[in-house]
């Protein structure tokens, strides 16, 4: 949304801020995507998924993967067509041109990242307490540790995306190691005749005897473990040649994580019964204890801690870049789009999103409520994005880009909209949290309108050629 003051601004006048630094190649982007998808979801929610569906715990992860893949194809078309940091909000505005809807979509995506990161921060604090035997109570101690960790994430983010992504490389390798340990333990136990492989075909039915609805309910939880691929589009301005590398890297990252999730699920349910796996918040720790009782449990505790730390880092990177992108288009106040002259990072946006995370860590609940709310918000956004792909087919750009088969965004929109509904068995509290967050977004929208009016800034439709004062990134 091009902003003007009185008369239309010259695009050159919008280059007063330095451009974001392009530092991400295909391997860094792949690790970014894999590291963002892996983490809190698979480490914390495997047991809860088993509680819904029984032994066939792998199936909801597979269904969630299929839904995510459909939407990923839509994102691929849009990010290669419009490689900008604003992501879903930019696509929404280009498709529908309604500033209020654009803002709500942007706010929903930002909130999903911050709620996910805040949950991961609390999980980090809990695992830190367990690994080091600190004995922190589930109250002020966990909250203070979570706040300290979020401050560290902000400091890494401020250093720059290069430093942040390098930290992501290390943390991704750690969390991958943890999941590979689970897979190896499971395969070793199966080869040795331990456990019960037949559980993977056992389904838990609901009161009516249906197998379908428990799988759907479990999928709404498992989908939280699949989200993260969409964050990568907000890093488009900091990637080298995004039009060329995004399709194969994004699809490759999704396939890798999908395979890992299925293998982890099979290993877990082979060694631990569904009812036992569903108890508590450390399901994979039970798998290690059952399949390799001599393995040092504290080591796996540290691995889990670093895995959720990676989720927090990646989600805060996404949230700050989204705020930056929307601010540069005057959907948020212009000051949030300022870039540090030396570090070339959006430092005001980083501070803003960190403060919101502090509030969530202090006042809101844990993994089930916030994780489910994250998935709920993103499923709503994904529905809009899938529709936007079809609407934007009429818009052409000069550079070549990925084009997804028309059937995929149609199926993506229908499947995402279906998983949003209460018929899936989604907890009411998730709708309540989402409702409060959207209400906050509405308030912020009116604040932004007042700021624009006070400064004489009028918001126009986006300029396809000079978005943000820069041409397409090639």
pLDDT tens-place string over residues 294-319: 888 788 878 888 878 877 887 888 78
Task: Spell out where 311-389 has E strands.
Answer: none
What token pair was written down for 237? Answer: 């301005």
Q: Is the pLDDT of residue 175 over 90?
A: no
Q: Is the pLDDT of residue 260 over 60?
A: yes
182-240 pLDDT, tens digit each: 999 999 988 888 888 889 998 887 777 778 888 998 898 889 888 877 767 666 666 66
The pLDDT confidence band at residue 281, using thresholds 50, 70 and 90, is low
Cβ 218 vs Cβ 58: under 8 Å:
no
Cβ 187 vs Cβ 337: under 8 Å:
no
Provide the pLDDT for residue 184: 93
Provide the pLDDT for residue 57: 93
Could you tell me the CA-to-CA distances from 390 to 109, 232, 394, 400 in Å, in that order?
21, 21, 8, 17
- Residue in this structure with the two tokens 């005749």, named with its chain if needed: 193
Q: Is the pLDDT of residue 455 over 80?
A: no
Q: Is 8 helix (H, G, I), strand (E, B) or coil?
A: coil
What phi-psi label fits residue 300: left (phi over 0), alpha (psi between -120 and 50 degrees) or beta? alpha
Q: Is the pLDDT of residue 98 over 90?
A: no
Q: Is the pLDDT of residue 469 over 60?
A: no
Q: Which residues partner with 4 through β-bridges?
A: 458
Domain ranges of the chain: 22-430
Q: Is the pLDDT of residue 463 over 80?
A: no
First to last CA, the chain: 22
Q: Hey, which of 11-20, 96-105, 310-319 has the most confident mean pLDDT?
A: 96-105
Mean pLDDT for the stretch of residues 105-120: 85
229-253 pLDDT, tens digit each: 776 766 666 666 666 777 888 889 8
> Among 111-115, 265-269, 359-363, 417-421, where is mean pLDDT lowest?
359-363
Provide the pLDDT for residue 163: 57
Dist. CA 227–CA 232, nearest whole Å: 11
Dist. CA 184–CA 189, nearest whole Å: 8
Query: What is the helix, strand, coil percentage profile of the chain, to 5?
Result: 75, 0, 25
Provide the pLDDT for residue 15: 45
23-43 pLDDT, tens digit each: 567 787 787 788 778 877 788
Q: What is the DSSP letter of 239?
A: B
The helices-and-strands tally (H runs, E runs) of the chain is 16, 2
Instruction: Indicate the burial class of 302 (C-beta count within 10 angstroms; 0-12, 13-18, 19 or more).
Output: middle
Side-chain half-sphere of 128: how many Cα atoms within 13 Å? 20
Dist. CA 387–CA 100, nearest whole Å: 17
Is the pLDDT higher at 322 or at 63?
63
The pLDDT confidence band at residue 456, using thresholds 50, 70 and 90, is confident
Dist. CA 243–CA 399, nearest whole Å: 9
Q: Which residues partner with 54 through β-bridges?
A: 203
Provide the pLDDT for residue 23: 57
Which residue, 26, 42, 113, is CA-closest to 257? 42
151-160 pLDDT, tens digit each: 999 988 887 6
Dist. CA 67–CA 419, nearest whole Å: 10
Dist. CA 8–CA 167, nearest whole Å: 42
Provide the pLDDT for residue 238: 66
Share of the chain above pLDDT 70, in %: 82
360-419 pLDDT, tens digit each: 888 776 666 777 888 899 999 999 999 999 999 988 887 778 889 999 999 999 999 999
Q: Output phi, psi for 135, to 5 deg.
A: 70, 30
> Among 10-24, 122-136, 406-420, where is mean pLDDT lowest?
10-24
Q: How far is CA 188 from the centre of its chain?
A: 32
Q: Is 457 helix (H, G, I), strand (E, B) or coil?
A: strand
Fold adopted by 22-430: Amino acid/polyamine transporter I (1.20.1740)
What token pair was written down for 365? Answer: 């609940």
Q: Is the pLDDT of residue 14 over 80?
A: no
Cβ 11 vs Cβ 463: under 8 Å:
yes
Whole-number average pLDDT of the chain: 80
Q: Is the pLDDT of residue 350 over 60?
A: yes
Q: Residues, the chain, total?
A: 474
Mean pLDDT for the stretch of residues 123-152: 78
Could you tell me the CA-to-CA distances from 440 to 155, 176, 221, 356 in Å, in that order?
26, 36, 25, 11
Output the pTM of the full model.
0.80
Find the angle CA(256)-CA(279)-CA(33) to the nearest 5 degrees. 20
């Amino acid at each position: 949304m091009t902003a003007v003051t009185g008369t239309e601004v010259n695009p050159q006048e919008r280059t007063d801020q330095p451009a974001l630094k392009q530092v991400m190649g295909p391997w860094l982007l792949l690790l970014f995507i894999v590291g963002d998808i892996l983490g809190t979801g698979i480490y914390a929610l495997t047991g809860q998924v088993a509680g819904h569906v029984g032994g066939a715990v792998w199936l909801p992860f597979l269904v969630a993967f299929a839904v995510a893949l459909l939407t990923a194809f839509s994102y691929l078309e849009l990010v290669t067509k419009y490689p900008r940091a604003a992501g879903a909000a930019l696509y929404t505005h280009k498709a529908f041109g309604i500033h209020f809807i654009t803002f709500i979509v942007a706010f929903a995506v930002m909130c999903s990242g911050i709620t996910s990161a805040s949950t991961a921060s609390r999980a980090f604090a809990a695992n830190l307490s367990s690994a080091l035997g600190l004995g922190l109570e589930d109250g002020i101690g966990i909250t203070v540790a979570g706040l300290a960790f979020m401050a560290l994430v902000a400091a890494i983010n401020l250093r720059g995306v290069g430093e942040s992504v390098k930290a992501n490389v290390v943390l991704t390798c750690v969390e991958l190691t943890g999941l590979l340990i689970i897979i190896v333990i499971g395969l070793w136990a199966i080869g040795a005749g331990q456990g019960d492989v037949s559980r993977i075909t056992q389904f838990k039915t609901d009161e009516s005897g249906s197998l379908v609805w428990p799988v759907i309910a479990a999928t709404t939880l498992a989908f939280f473990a699949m989200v993260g691929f969409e964050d990568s589009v907000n890093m488009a301005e900091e990637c080298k040649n995004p039009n060329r590398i995004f399709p194969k890297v994004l699809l490759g990252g999704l396939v890798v994580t999908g395979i890992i999730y299925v293998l982890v699920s099979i290993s877990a349910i082979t060694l631990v019964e569904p009812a036992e796996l569903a108890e508590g918040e450390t399901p994979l720790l039970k798998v290690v204890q059952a399949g390799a009782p001599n393995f040092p449990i504290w080591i796996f505790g540290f691995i889990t801690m670093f895995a959720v730390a990676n989720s927090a880092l990646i989600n805060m990177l996404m949230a700050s870049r989204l705020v930056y992108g929307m601010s540069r288009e005057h959907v948020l106040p212009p000051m949030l789009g300022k870039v540090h002259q030396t570090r070339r990072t959006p430092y005001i946006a980083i501070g803003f999103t960190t403060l919101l995370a502090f509030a969530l860590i202090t006042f809101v609940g844990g993994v089930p409520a916030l994780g489910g709310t994250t998935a709920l918000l993103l499923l709503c956004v994904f529905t809009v994005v899938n529709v936007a792909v079809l609407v934007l087919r009429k818009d052409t750009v000069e550079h070549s880009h990925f084009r997804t088969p028309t059937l995929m965004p149609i199926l993506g929109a229908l499947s995402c909209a279906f998983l949003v509904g209460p018929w899936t068995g989604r907890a009411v509290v998730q709708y309540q949290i989402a409702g409060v967050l959207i209400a906050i977004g509405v308030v912020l929208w009116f604040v932004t309108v007042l700021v624009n009016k006070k400064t004489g800034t009028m918001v126009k439709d986006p300029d396809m050629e000079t978005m943000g004062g820069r041409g397409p990134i090639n």
